[in-house]
Chains A and B, each alone.
Chain A
Amino acid sequence: MKITKKQTGEFLVLNIEGKIDMSNYVSAEAEVVEIINAGNKNIIMNCQELEYVSSAGLRVFLTALKKVKALGGKIAVCHLNDDLQEAFEVSSFASIFKVFPDLEGALNS
């Protein structure tokens, strides 16, 4: 799993690559928390290169959402593949996160 950052307008775009599962969700969560705690309260989680997320990985999204909301910021998710979309539906995340098919839509949210 790798996270790269890019500031685009008011949003910090987090490009998440690889997989988030039981083996690495703790470090992924710590990395995302550190980014938000550094004052980045408007976040887009770009999942274009994210291949696999288990329920442990979903926690990273949940933590980011709660942190951002606590700071009064905005969070959006984009480029979910079919598996991720399904996981978001099953876990109710799809009805709580702002989910966009592409980055452009998320940036305009």
Chain B
Amino acid sequence: MAFEITDKNIDFNEIDVYLQSLKFYTILSKIIRNKMLIILEETISNILKYSFNDTKNCFIKVNIDIDAEYIKIRIIDNCMEFNPINYENPEKLFFAEQLRDGGNGIALIKCYADKLVYNRNYNCNIFDIWLNYKK
């Protein structure tokens, strides 16, 4: 079952509702559920913040599949080209004054995912995120 966003002003609680509607949701651990939620929230909020344009019929589509080992999340959007894999993690910081509130979302995605693949096809960003739910 797919989840689609066409409006910038989404209610982020809908992502959790979508996850809970997945047939395999109940077999997943709380840790995996939280990681899925964070990955979706961070990816979608980044797209909405940096490349989504209400006036250009933008969409974001999320599809999630499962196999014997992995949760496979595919996020497709027709917004401006953006490869999150190329985004550098914030450098290690040691002073409060250096802390910033940007960049942590993508760093979290990279930390939680077991495999990330990005492609740009037919003017769409296609971001595949694999999560091992067996380990």
Binding site for B on A (CB under 8 A): 21-23, 51-52, 54-56, 58-59, 62, 65-66, 69, 82-83, 86-87, 90-93, 95-96
Complex CA gap A82/B111 in Å reads: 13
**Residue of A whose beta carbon sits closest to that of B111:** A90
B121 in contact (CB, < 8 A): no
The residues of B that contact A65 with a CB separation of less than 8 Å are 96, 99
Q: Is B42 positioned at the interface, with any CB of A under 8 Å from its CB?
A: yes
Give the dominant DSSP class at A's interface: helix
Residue from A55, A82, A86, A96 in contact with B96 in the complex, judged by beta carbons closer than 8 Å: A96
**Which residues of chain B (78-113) have a CB below 8 Å from chain A?**
89-96, 99, 101, 104-105, 107-108, 111-112
What are the residues of chain B within 8 A of A87 when measuring CB–CB? 104, 108
Q: In the assembled complex, which residues on chain B have CB atoms less than 8 Å from the CB atom of A55?
A: 42, 101, 104-105, 108
Question: Known interface pairs A23-B11, A62-B99. Does A91 touch B90 (Cβ–Cβ under 8 Å)?
Answer: yes
Chain B contact residues, CB within 8 Å of chain A: 11-13, 30-31, 34-35, 37-38, 41-42, 45, 89-96, 99, 101, 104-105, 107-108, 111-112
CB <8 Å contact, A22 and B31: no
**Contact, CB under 8 Å: A23 / B34:** no
Q: Chain B contact residues: over half helix, strand or loop, or mixed?
A: helix
Task: Give A12 Cβ to nearest chain B Cβ, in Å.
Answer: 19
Q: Whole-angstrom distance between the alpha carbons of A23 and B37 in the complex?
A: 12
The answer to whether A54 and B90 have CB atoms under 8 Å apart is: no
| Cβ contact of A22, chosen from B45, B94, B95, B107, cutoff 8 A | B45
- Interface pair B42/A54, CB less than 8 Å apart: yes
B104→A52 contact, CB < 8 A: no
- Min distance, Cβ A17 to any Cβ of chain B, angstroms: 15
Q: Is the CB of B12 within 8 A of A23?
A: yes
Nearest A-chain residue to B95, judged by Cβ: A96
Chain B residues with CB under 8 Å of A66's CB are: 96, 99
**Chain B positions within 8 Å of A92 at CB level:** 90-94, 99
Which residue of the partner chain A has the closest CB to B92?
A92
- B94 and A96: CB pair below 8 A? yes
Report the minimum CB–CB distance from B22 to chain A (whole Å): 17
Q: Is the CB of A95 within 8 A of B93?
A: yes
Q: How far is the CA of A92 from the CA of B101 in the complex (A)?
A: 11
